[in-house]
Amino acid sequence: MARIRLDHIRHAYSPDLAKANNYALREVDTVFEDGGAYALLGPSGCGKTTLLNIISGLLTPSEGHVRFDDTDVTLLTPEARNIAQVFQFPVIYDTMTVRENLAFPLKNRKVPKAEIGPRVEDMLRRIGLEAKADRKARGLTADEKQKISLGRGLVRSDVNAILFDEPLTVIDPHMKWQLRSELKQLHREFQMTMVYVTHDQTEALTFADKVVVMYAGEVVQIGTPEELFERPQHTFVGYFIGSPGMNVLPCDLDGGDAIVSGERVKLPAGLSARAAKKRIELGIRPEFVSLVARGTGIPVAIEKVEDIGSEKIVRARLGEHRVSAVVAEDHAIPTDADIAFSAERLNLYADSWLVERG
C-alpha cells in the first residue's frame, strides 16, 4: 500500500505531438493518499485513462515523475510497481478455472504452494464465487468475470494500489449497483488505495471519497462529492456534476453587483473586486434557484417544465441565456414568474475558474 504522488506529469503520445504542444495530459500534479478511494471523472478523451495507465506503468509519461511513497517508480514496469488493474472488458484466462485464475498472479510470483491455497480460498469467499471455483472462467457472466479480474488483483495482499478502468461498462444495469457496493465493501476491508476511472458521475460520486475531475488533459478539481456540488472550482465541474448542471451566466460587474442581461444581481461582499478585468460568469445550481411572484425577482420567460417524478425542472430564458431551476413536485408553476437566487450559493467565475471569497 502506498501514497501515490504524481509529480508534474505531462504526456504526449508521440514526440511530434509534444512538439505541436498537443498533450493528452497537459499537467497533472496531485497526490493520492494511502488507502483512499479516488475516482477519476471526466468526459471521453479528457486523459483519465492515460493518467491511469501512467500510474499503473503501462505508459511512461513524457515528463514528470510518479512516486509510490518515496520511491520513484516512473521507469518501473507494471509488475515491479506491484499494482493491480481491472480493465473495461473483463480479462480472464479462458482455459483456466476460476480457482486457477486467482492463483495465477501468485504462482507467477513464486509464492509457496502452501500459502496460495488458503489465500485463493479466502478470495473466492470474498468475491462470492466459491460455488463456481472449479468451473472454467470463460463460461461465467460478465459481472462474475469482472469479479475474477478484481480478485486477481486483491489476492496479492501487498499490492500498492488497485486501478479500475471503467470496470462496469459491460455490466447489466441492475448488477452495477450491487457490484459497486461490493467494491465499496472490499475497499473497507482491505484499506487499499483505489483509483477508479469513469465518465459516469453517479458511479464516481457513490464510489469515491474524493473525486478527481478532469477536463481537457488537466485536473480541474479534487474534492469530496459535496465540495464538487457546492463549490465547483471550474465552470466545467459545475456543468458536469449534477443533473441538470449548474447555470453558468456571463455577466458584467458593477460595483458590488453583477449585471446579467441587464438585470442586477446582488453579490456576497468581497467577491467583485478580485475578479476585475476578466471574463466573468455567474454560477448557480438549479437547486438554489427559486420561482417567485412576478415583480419580486428577476423576470424570465418559462419555456418548458420537465416533471421527473420527485421534482420538476423548470427551463427558462433570461435574456439570451438559459436558466434551469429545480422546484418541488407540488410547487405550482405560474405562467409568468420571476426567479431568485439564494445569495450565499452564488459562485463567481473569472476565466472559468472560481473566484474565492475574501
Partner 1 sequence: MEKTWNNKAWFFVLPVLLLVAFSAVIPLMTVVNYSVQDSFGNNQFFWYGADWFREVLTSERFHDALIRNLLFSAIILAIEVPLGILVALAMPKKGIWVPVCLVLMALPLLIPWNVVGTIWQVFARTDIGLLGYSVDALGIDYNYVRNTFDAWVTVVVMDVWHWTSLVVLLCYAGLVSIPDAYYQAAKIDGASRWAVFRYIQLPKMGRVLLIAVLLRFMDSFMIYTEPFVVTGGGPGNSTTFLSIDLVKLAIGQFNIGEAAAMSLIYFLIILALSWIFYTVMTNAGNDKPMTGGGE
Residues in touch with partner 1 (CB under 8 A) = 56, 58, 77-79, 83-85, 87-89, 91, 93-96, 104-105, 108-109, 132, 135-136, 138-139, 149, 152-153
How far is 137 from 268, CA to CA, in rounded Å?
60
Distance of closest approach, residue 193 Cβ to partner 1, in angstroms: 15
Residue 141 or 224 with smaller CB distance to partner 1: 141
Contacts within 8 Å (CB) and 24+ apart, 228-237: 229/285, 230/345, 231/347, 231/354, 232/283, 232/347, 232/354, 233/353, 233/354, 234/349, 234/352, 234/353, 234/354, 235/281, 235/283, 235/349, 235/352, 236/352, 237/213
Distance of closest approach, residue 109 Cβ to partner 1, in angstroms: 5
CA-to-CA dists, residue 339 to 47, 164, 336, angstroms: 38, 43, 10
Distance of closest approach, residue 107 Cβ to partner 1, in angstroms: 9
Distance of closest approach, residue 93 Cβ to partner 1, in angstroms: 5
Residue 136 or 231 with smaller CB distance to partner 1: 136
Residue 137 or 213 with smaller CB distance to partner 1: 137
Residue whose C-alpha cell reads 486483491 in the numeric block: 154
Q: With beta carbons less than 8 A apart as the criterion, state whether 92 and 145 touch.
A: yes
Residue whose C-alpha cell reads 475578479 in the numeric block: 275
Residue 137 or 280 with smaller CB distance to partner 1: 137
Distance of closest approach, residue 41 Cβ to partner 1, in angstroms: 21
Residue whose C-alpha cell reads 434557484 in the numeric block: 289
Residue 167 or 238 with smaller CB distance to partner 1: 167
Take residue 352 and report the three cell numbers written for it.
Answer: 472559468
Distance of closest approach, residue 82 Cβ to partner 1, in angstroms: 9
Taking Cα atoms as reference points, which of 271, 244, 243 lies closest to residue 256? 271
Residue 58 or 350 with smaller CB distance to partner 1: 58
